Amino acid sequence: MKSEPSECSVDDALAAENATVPWAGVRNYQARNFMRDAMQVGDGVLFYHSSCGEPGIVGVAQVASTPYPDTTQFDPESPYYDPKSKREEPRGVLVDVQVLRKTRHFSLPELRANAALGNLVLLRKGNRLSITPVEPQHWRLILELINAQQP
């Protein structure tokens, strides 16, 4: 799950109550559908900083709630406001994410350099989704690589 550190960094999430934040503002339907249809409470999450100087994985988290309506879609003052969304049929949903631990920065070039991660959805050409699934074998390898070089 990608987050811009200027909006919600891993440190911001760790500072939140129970190290848990609502993953608000997802408006891409494919990313929203991953959240709404595929995520379960307790599923692992790689917390990824994007749109910053050095994109990469910066933490390990877990899904902490079932999907529920994202209230930012109803707020005209929000950058995520969706005038077509109705309270009785919300278009935007979110899940709460709980950060379990901050990790060393595992950079995008490091991810790309590992051949075993070659078909990781995040690394596909043209991928700009903020939420992408991670296959179990990729999850295990990424955690191994992060932990092997953890200070």
Tally the domains of the chain.
Answer: 1
Q: Which CATH number characterizes residue 133's domain?
A: 3.10.590.10
Q: pLDDT digit of tens for each residue in the chain (151 aa)? A: 999 999 999 999 999 999 999 999 999 999 999 999 999 999 999 999 999 999 999 999 999 999 999 999 999 999 999 999 999 999 999 999 999 999 999 999 999 999 999 999 999 888 888 999 999 999 999 999 998 865 5
CB 44 within 8 A of CB 68: no
Question: Which are the contacts of 2, defined by CB distance < 8 A and separation ≥ 6?
Answer: 48, 49, 50, 129, 130, 131
Residue 127 confidence (pLDDT): 82
Sequential DSSP letters for 19-44: GEEE------HHHHHIIIII--TT-E
- Rg from Cα positions in the chain: 15
For the whole model, what pTM was predicted? 0.93
The residue segments making up the domain with residue 101 are 2-148
